[in-house]
Amino acid sequence: MLNDLDARIVDVIIAAWNRSDTIERAVQSALAQEAVNVVIVIDDGSTDDTAAKASRCDPSGCRILVERLPSNVGPAAARNVAIELSQAPWLAILDGDDFFLPGRIHTLLSNSDGWDLIADGLLHVPEHRAFNLQTTSTLAGADVANLALTFETFVLGDLNRRGAYRQELGFLKPLIRRSFLDRHELRYNESLRLGEDYVFYACALLAGARFLLLPTAGYVSVERAGSISVHHTKRDLERLRDNDRNLMKLTTSQEERRALAKHYASVDCRVQWIAIVEAIKARSIRQFVTPFFRSKTVMIYLLRKLIAVARLQLKRRLLVFN
């Protein structure tokens, strides 16, 4: 693998929709990686000049390929288009509003021997701070060891945790061995517009993928108010939740099934909270009460959310009176 570090053996695939304001930063950060062969940008039905700005990043056209889709199909389907266009032995996923820190791909490749997916942590930063980041960061100290992810640890690591903004393992953007994907005919689930990465990695692990997580962070995830991972529909969440049932059919391990059940319940809590909000707007008592009978986990979650909302409203009223 050390000899491979001197070769361009990684294709970076970017699915972008109306990212004219950030696409150049994303593409340039990928082109700057020494092992990157081609950056493949799939313009997912954008109405702005995302495609034109991406193309300008490499005037020669030798290291960038831009494909424009006639309509928006979602990140999963767009990435599948990019995978079919790619030819390099390794793939790296990059969102159009995010970017790589210098040396990230080199670090991942240096640890790739014997692994099918190699990921590092994410640096979550607001847009106004993104331009200040220049070097790869250590997540939790130099003495932290690499972590081999099993299916169970991955699924449990994707549970939504209070106070840990978007730190679930399903947000990781690993380097992926192309031969593994082709051997197992693995692609993104195109019915998903939320959580497509989580389902993709889970399916890879069930297929026997060896997944390594490094204690460094070279991928910058930029926090944007309009991101679908922050604002999503009830249907988006339902599709993600119901995919856990499909995954259960692929395993006979009781530990893995219990992990999936916890993940299912976690997503269902968010589904039912949206149902509560819809019931309040519709002024429907029946619709309001029904979600509380889903499970004890859901009931506790909803009560906590309602109490938090009530406290916030009370605080605002007190501020007005003062």
Question: Residues 6 or more apart from 283 whose CB is under 8 A from it?
Answer: none
Question: Residues 6 or more apart from 262 whose CB is under 8 A from it?
Answer: 155, 156, 159
Which of 84, 158, 73, 149 lies closest to 115 in space, CA to CA? 149
pLDDT exceeds cutoff 80 at 6? no
d(CA 81, CA 63): 17
Q: Where in the chain is the domain with CATH 3.90.550.10?
A: 3-223
3-state secondary structure of 197: helix
What H or E segment, with its residue span, contains residue 213? strand 211-223
3-state secondary structure of 221: strand
Where is average pLDDT lowest: 54-63, 156-165, 294-303? 156-165
Please give the structure tokens belonging to residue 125.
């930063």
Which of 155, 166, 176, 15 lies closest to 96 in space, CA to CA? 15
Tens digits of per-residue pLDDT, 264-282?
999 999 999 999 999 999 9
pTM assigned to the model: 0.89
The pLDDT value recorded for residue 240 is: 96
d(CA 49, CA 68): 11
Question: Where would I find the H helices in the chain?
Answer: 23-31, 50-55, 75-85, 104-110, 151-156, 178-183, 196-206, 234-248, 254-282, 285-289, 296-321
pLDDT exceeds cutoff 50 at 139? no
Report strand pairing: 90-95 vs 147-149: unpaired
pLDDT exceeds cutoff 60 at 1? no
The pLDDT value recorded for residue 140 is: 42
User: Whole-number mean pLDDT of the chain?
Assistant: 90
The pLDDT value recorded for residue 321 is: 67
The pLDDT value recorded for residue 141 is: 41
The pLDDT value recorded for residue 2 is: 44
Q: Read off the pLDDT band of 171 (50, 70, 90).
A: very high
Contact 9, 39 (CB under 8 A): no
Q: Read off the pLDDT band of 142 (50, 70, 90).
A: very low
Contact 16, 43 (CB under 8 A): yes
The DSSP 8-state label assigned to residue 146 in this structure reads P
| pLDDT average, residue stretch 214-228 | 81
* Homologous superfamily (CATH) for 3-223: Spore Coat Polysaccharide Biosynthesis Protein SpsA; Chain A (3.90.550.10)
pLDDT exceeds cutoff 50 at 138? no
Residue with the bigger pLDDT between 313 and 54: it is 54
What separation, in Å, do the N-terminal and C-terminal C-alpha atoms of the chain show? 66
